Amino acid sequence: MSSTPGRTHSGRAASRRSASLSTRRSRTALLFVLPQVVGLIAFTGVPLVASLGYSFTHWDLVAPAPTFVGLDNWAHLLSDDRIPAVLWNTVRFILVGTTSLLVFSLIAALLTFTPRRGVALYRAALFLPYVLSQIAVGVVWRWMFNTNSGPIAGIWEFFGGDSPDWLLDPATAMPSIALVTTWQTIGYGMTLYVSALQGVPASLLEAATIDGANRWQRFRHVTVPMISPTVFFLTVTSLIGAFQLFDPVVAMTSASAGPATAGGPSNSTRTIVLYMYNQMFNYSERISGLGYAAALAWMLALIIFLITAAQFALSRRWVHYDDPVVRASRKRARA
């Protein structure tokens, strides 16, 4: 039975009204998003393109304009024997700082996860350092690590020992900085872990208990897979932050001259970002200046991109975004 002309006309009118409403909503959404897009292009996209262009120039910020030097900055970057040293310093920081953050923040979350009296106060006390300035935290801990008058040295002397030269010994300077950053960020990691632990279904833990799993087995085979997305997120973000380490090193190792004298002792705490800063304002070398600093920045961006891409590729093996019961049913279905 064919439709009447009146019904056809009303249907077309309703379709036009729906399309018009959809268009108005799209335009409204675009108006709200437009300031963010413009800001992203103006303050991120344009500087990125400009920095890439500067990496092919030499400019000491004193000359009226940069001088095009082609691939000289990149060639010098590949032959600069100081690059492996500053990268190794960053790796040393990661081995202590990132590892301790992942472990200690998880321990703090497990200790404060169960609701009981005063637990909110403990969480607040652990989270408080995260909102403080890294420079302020670094200055305070620099005084605490002072071998002559710091409280840490006083504790060692109280127990009859000689305090190490925490920030004056190349072997302990970078681990000391790493532990300070862990102390400051442990509350942040704890908060994310607590949120993830709250999402672990109690029914899965009860089922594992009924099957005879002890506490460690329940934690390893149930809790860890369920919180693996949070572990992955913290690993990725903490590694990116580690490669951008700057403020704590400056606050804890620089003399009165500021960042120019940071990175000691014996350059054992000089990171890639600090080295980039030094090259930016170091005009005593033939290749140093804005151009070489831009090349270093792009090298750092490439390193972070490759490491992050590798993490995402490897995450498929150990990060689980679905319920273990659903995974088990899928495996049985595939079998």
Q: How far apart are CA 147 and CA 145, in angstroms?
A: 6
- CATH fold of 72-334: MetI-like fold (1.10.3720)
Whole-structure pTM value: 0.82
Contact (CB, 8 A) for 262 and 249: yes
pLDDT band at 242 (very low <50, low <70, confident <90, very high): very high
Mean pLDDT of 184-192: 94
Contact 236, 308 (CB under 8 A): yes
17-53 pLDDT tens trace: 666 777 888 888 888 888 888 998 999 889 889 999 9
Q: Where are the domains of the chain?
A: 5-54, 72-334
Write down the pLDDT at residue 305: 95
DSSP string, 119-188: HHHHHHHHHGGGGS-HHHHHHHHHHHT-TTT-HHHHHHHHTT-PPP-TTTSTTTHHHHHHHHHHHHHHHH
Burial of 322 (0-12, 13-18, 19+ CB in 10 A): exposed
* Residues 288-328: tens digit of each pLDDT: 888 899 999 999 999 999 999 999 999 988 888 865 555 55
Provide the 8-state DSSP code for 82: T
Q: Which pLDDT score, from 0 to 100, does residue 329 have? A: 47
